[in-house]
């Protein structure tokens, strides 16, 4: 091993020792979850990749993983894993002011505040720069009018990451600004949208005169597209399970014992992701239906394993980049496509193994959990950018193929009559 390798190994051993000692000394399942989150944060172990100025240790991704391993070894509850710590935090580090970092990071990390993404609109999904929700300046505030859709968990969260149009006279990418808007205020109405899983986990959100303080604009006015690009890059990577700390995703009862929150997390099947929970349910189905030795089942298992290895390779690339939040770019797109493929592969295998019983739902199904996962599978190829868009990204930006025609030079036509959102 060369000198640099030796140095890295020593550093890894030191981080491992310190993290282990801290978790062994402090983890107590009887502590209220909120107190546990605060302790991890203040000891700088919750998000060890965050900068030292902001409750982190500035550790590169391989060492963040070491901290996570030690926490899991001790069996402690992880810090909140939702989209705020995974996506908004890196955006704040890149585009936020010190005041914004102070106000938003602490709440997302101690579990007292959660966020959602308010980007997509009825007519702007893949073509996100076409958003028409508008923000108009009024003194120290901005007034928001328009509508967002597919907004996951909007009914539960404290604030949304909102992309809105602030200038209609410039090419569409140049007229956007990024805001952090409080959800619970007059002028914001959240209407649930039911999915084929039976859940209503996403919503349409209507803005009619909602207000955002000028202090809650992320990045300069008109720089919304640059901020969104940071967001999209991290979002792709966030589909990779390794990008998360492993703690709860949504709002948590912070008075509940941390051990109970952890047990509930471990029982929860990741219904929309290719997490280990699905793998376990699938293995059980294969055994229950007596198909463990079936050559076709074994072949399908092998193919899934190859995809997981591909994912492992991508993770390695992300880690070796040393980027604490994961490497935005090609690896993110590959990672997201691979998660789509693994998820589809698991669904196909699970349904095939069950035969006709695969058509049953709810209490009638051999595994209600699996059927629920199967119904949620298509969303993985859409949410956070469709498979086609990931392939475009790889084709154009990585392989250098000719770009598809674009119309970004023209400003969007001014909205005529959209002050009140239609229902």
Ligand X SMILES: Cc1cc2nc3c(=O)[nH]c(=O)nc-3n(C[C@H](O)[C@H](O)[C@H](O)COP(=O)(O)OP(=O)(O)OC[C@H]3O[C@@H](n4cnc5c(N)ncnc54)[C@H](O)[C@@H]3O)c2cc1C
* Catalytically annotated residues: 235
Tell me whether residue 169 or residue 404 sits nearer to ligand X (CB atom): 404
Euclidean distance between CA atoms 83 and 132, whole angstroms: 24
Map residues 147-176 to x or -, x wherever contact with ligand X holds by CB under 6 A.
---xxx------------------------
Closest approach of ligand X to the CB of residue 289, in Å: 29
Find the shortest distance in angstroms from Cβ 154 to ligand X.
7
Buried b (16+ CB within 10 A) or exposed e, 15-26: bbeebbebbeee
Binding mask 264-293 for ligand X (x = CB under 6 A): ------------------------------
CB of 7 to ligand X, least distance (A): 42
Question: What's the CA gap between 347 and 308, in Å, rounded?
Answer: 15
Distance in angstroms (rounded) separating the CA atoms of residues 84 and 384: 15
- Options 118-126, 176-184, 322-330, 331-339: segment touching ligand X (CB under 6 A): 118-126
Closest C-alpha among 252, 257, 248 to residue 30: 257
CB closer to ligand X out of 38 and 172? 172
- Could you tell me the smallest distance in angstroms from the CB atom of residue 330 to ligand X? 18
Which one of the spans 2-10, 86-94, 210-218, 385-393 is the region binding ligand X (CB under 6 A)? 385-393
203 lies in the binding site for ligand X (CB under 6 A): no
State the minimum distance, in angstroms, from the CB of residue 163 to ligand X.
Answer: 8
283 or 408: whose CB is closer to ligand X?
Answer: 408
Q: CA-CA-CA-CA torsion for 166, 169, 170, 173, nearest 10 degrees?
A: 40
Verify binding: residue 29, ligand X, rule CB under 6 A: no
Cβ 222 to ligand X, closest distance in Å? 20
Binding to ligand X (CB under 6 A) within 318-377 occurs at none
Is 384 one of the binding residues for ligand X (CB under 6 A)? yes
385 binds ligand X, rule: CB under 6 A:
yes
Applying CB under 6 A, what is the total number of residues that bind ligand X? Answer: 21
Cβ contact 236:326 at 8 Å: no
**Contact range with ligand X by CB under 6 A, out of 62-70, 114-122, 136-144, 283-291:** 114-122
Residue 202 binds ligand X (CB under 6 A): yes
Interface residues toward ligand X, by CB under 6 A = 116-120, 125-126, 150-152, 202, 379, 382-386, 388-389, 392, 404
């Amino acid at each position: 091993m060369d000198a640099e390798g030796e140095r890295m190994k020593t550093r890894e051993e030191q981080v491992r020792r310190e993290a282990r000692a801290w978790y062994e000394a402090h983890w107590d399942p009887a502590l209220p979850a909120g107190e546990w989150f605060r302790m991890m944060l203040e000891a700088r172990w919750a998000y060890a990749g965050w900068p030292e100025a902001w409750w982190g240790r500035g550790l590169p991704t391989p060492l963040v993983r070491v901290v996570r391993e030690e926490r899991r070894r001790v069996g402690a509850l992880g810090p909140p894993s939702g989209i705020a710590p995974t996506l908004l935090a890196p955006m704040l580090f890149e585009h936020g002011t010190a005041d914004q970092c102070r106000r938003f990071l602490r709440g997302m990390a101690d579990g007292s505040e959660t966020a959602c993404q308010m980007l997509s609109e009825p007519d702007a999904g893949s073509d996100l720069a076409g958003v028409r929700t508008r923000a108009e300046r009024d003194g120290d505030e901005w007034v928001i009018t328009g509508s967002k859709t597919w907004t996951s968990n909007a009914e539960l969260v404290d604030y949304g990451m909102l992309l809105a149009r602030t200038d209609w006279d410039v090419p569409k990418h140049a007229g956007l600004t990024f805001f952090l808007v409080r959800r619970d205020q007059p002028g914001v109405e959240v209407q649930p949208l039911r999915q084929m899983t039976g859940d209503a986990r996403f919503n349409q959100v209507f803005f009619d005169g909602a207000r955002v303080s000028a202090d809650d604009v992320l990045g300069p006015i008109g720089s919304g597209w640059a901020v969104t690009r940071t967001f999209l890059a991290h979002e792709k990577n966030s589909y990779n399970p390794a990008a998360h700390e492993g703690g709860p995703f949504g709002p948590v009862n912070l008075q509940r014992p941390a051990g109970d929150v952890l047990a509930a997390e471990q029982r929860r099947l990741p219904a929309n992701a290719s997490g280990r929970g699905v793998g376990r349910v699938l293995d059980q189905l294969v055994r229950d239906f007596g198909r463990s030795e079936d050559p076709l089942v074994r072949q399908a298992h092998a193919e899934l394993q190859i995809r997981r290895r591909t994912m492992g390779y991508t993770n390695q690339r992300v880690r070796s980049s040393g980027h604490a939040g994961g490497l935005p770019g090609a690896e993110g797109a590959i990672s997201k496509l691979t998660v789509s493929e693994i998820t589809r592969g698991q669904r196909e295998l699970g349904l095939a193994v069950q035969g006709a019983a695969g058509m049953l739902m709810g209490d009638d199904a051999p595994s209600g959990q699996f059927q629920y996962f199967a119904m949620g599978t298509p969303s993985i190829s859409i949410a956070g950018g469709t498979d086609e868009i990931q392939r475009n990204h790889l084709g154009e930006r990585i392989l250098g193929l000719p770009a598809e025609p674009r119309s970004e030079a023209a400003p969007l036509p001014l909205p005529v009559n959209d002050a009140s959102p239609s229902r």
